[in-house]
Structure 1
Amino acid sequence: MRRFLLGLGMGAAGSVIAWAATHSPGWTVVIGLTVAVLIWFCELVLDDLI
């Protein structure tokens, strides 16, 4: 649950930064979802790499 909330918060922060820089809804969604998904699945990816 902690990883989910961290991903949610960091994804939202990434979206805010993308919106402030580009004012593009498309980039805002892409950046927010990418950051959130990378945080949510980071443990699974690291397990496969190690």
Structure 2
Amino acid sequence: WFTSLLHARAVIRAWTQEYNEERPKKKLGGLTPAAYAKTLAAKAATINPGL
């Protein structure tokens, strides 16, 4: 249970950060979602450098 809206936002923000930046996923080759997104962005930049 959350004690206030501010408390809920803080807890959800912390959980989202942990999920995306600290917890590796098997489906993403052992990378975190944030690290996987960075690799995709790097690949896209090399495939379409002029776009």
Identify, as 1 or 2, the structure richer in helix: 1
TM-score normalized by the length of structure 2: 0.39
Specify the structure having the higher radius of gyration (Cα): 2
Q: Which has the higher contact order (CA 8 A, sep 6+)?
A: 1
